[in-house]
C-alpha cells in the first residue's frame, strides 16, 4: 500500500522552471503508485493553470519519481508509471505515537543555530525514525535541519538519540540515527523485533 499523507510536501520539477513545492491537502492511498488517485494540493498557481513535470513522490513506501500534471490544484500521475519505489525502508518499523522533545540544528548562514522542537515520533526502526514536530511558535519545522537531538518517551523509558535528516517536509522529518546510547540501542532492537 502506498499512502501520501495530508500535509506532506511534494516537489514538481518542470523544464526550465524552479521546482514547485506543493502541499497535499488530503491523504490518498492505493495499492501501487500507478493507481494513486489525483492528489488535491496547495500550490502557487491560480485557477486554470496547467504544468507538466517530474514529481518527487514521498510516500509511506519510500521515494519515487513519476511524470505528473498539475492542473487547477490537482496533481495527477501521467504517462508510464515507474517500475518501483527507489528507496525502501530495509529495517522493520514499529508504528506508534511516542512523545518527543529536542533541539534541531539548522544549517543557516552565517552559522548554524539551534531551535527547540516538540511533537511525537510516528514510527521507529533500528536505523531511523519519522518525527512529526514543530517549534513552539510555528506549525512547521524550520527549513534546513541537518540533525536533531531527541528525547523520546518509549515503552522502556526515555530514549536519547541524535538523528541526521534524510528528508524534511512541513512538520515531518525522516532521519537516521547518528548516535544512541548502547542500552537504548539494545532496547530498541528488542522492541522492533517484537513488532509482530
Domain that holds residue 124: 94-193
Residue written as cell 493553470?
49
Report yes or no on 65 lying in a domain: yes
Stretch 136-142: mean pLDDT = 82
pLDDT of the residue at 152? 95
Question: Is it the case that residue 81 has pLDDT exceeding 80?
Answer: no
Question: Is it the case that residue 3 has pLDDT exceeding 50?
Answer: yes
Report yes or no on 179 lying in a domain: yes
Residue 131: name the closest of 118, 144, 142, 143 by CA.
Answer: 118
Q: pLDDT for 88-119, tens place per residue?
A: 445 667 788 999 999 998 887 566 788 899 99
Q: Are 146 and 165 in contact (CB under 8 A)?
A: yes
113 and 186 share one domain: yes
72 and 149 share one domain: no
Per-residue pLDDT band for 61 (boundaries 50, 70, 90) equals: low
Domain count across the chain: 2
User: What radius of gyration do the chain's Cα atoms show?
Assistant: 18
Query: In the predicted model, what is the mean pLDDT of the chain?
Result: 82
* Residue 100 CA to its chain's centroid (Å): 16
CATH number of residue 103's parent domain: 2.40.10.220
Stretch 33-40: mean pLDDT = 85
Q: What is the secondary structure of 125-182 as a DSSP string?
A: -SSEEEEEEE-TT-SSPPS-EEEEEEEEEETTEEEEEEEEEEEEETTEEEEEEEEE-H
Amino acid at each position: 500500500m502506498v499512502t501520501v499523507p495530508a500535509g506532506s510536501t511534494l516537489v514538481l520539477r518542470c523544464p526550465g522552471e524552479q521546482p514547485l513545492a506543493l502541499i497535499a491537502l488530503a491523504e490518498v492511498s492505493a495499492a501501487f503508485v500507478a493507481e494513486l488517485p489525483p492528489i488535491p494540493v496547495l500550490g502557487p498557481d491560480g485557477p486554470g493553470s496547467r504544468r507538466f513535470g517530474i514529481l518527487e513522490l514521498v510516500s509511506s513506501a519510500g521515494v519515487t519519481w513519476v511524470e505528473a500534471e498539475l492542473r487547477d490544484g490537482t496533481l495527477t500521475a501521467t504517462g508510464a508509471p515507474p517500475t518501483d519505489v527507489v528507496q525502501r525502508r530495509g529495517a522493520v518499523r514499529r508504528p506508534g505515537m511516542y512523545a518527543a522533545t529536542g533541539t534541531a540544528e539548522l544549517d543557516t548562514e552565517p552559522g548554524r543555530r539551534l531551535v527547540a522542537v516538540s511533537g511525537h515520533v510516528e514510527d521507529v526502526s533500528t536505523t531511523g525514525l519519522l518525527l512529526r514536530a514543530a517549534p513552539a511558535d510555528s506549525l512547521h519545522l524550520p527549513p534546513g535541519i541537518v540533525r536533531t537531538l531527541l528525547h523520546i518517551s518509549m515503552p522502556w523509558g526515555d530514549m536519547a538519540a541524535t538523528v541526521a535528516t534524510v528528508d524534511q517536509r512541513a512538520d515531518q522529518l525522516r532521519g537516521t540515527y547518528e548516535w544512541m546510547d548502547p542500552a537504548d540501542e539494545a532496547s530498541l532492537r528488542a522492541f522492533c523485533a517484537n513488532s509482530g
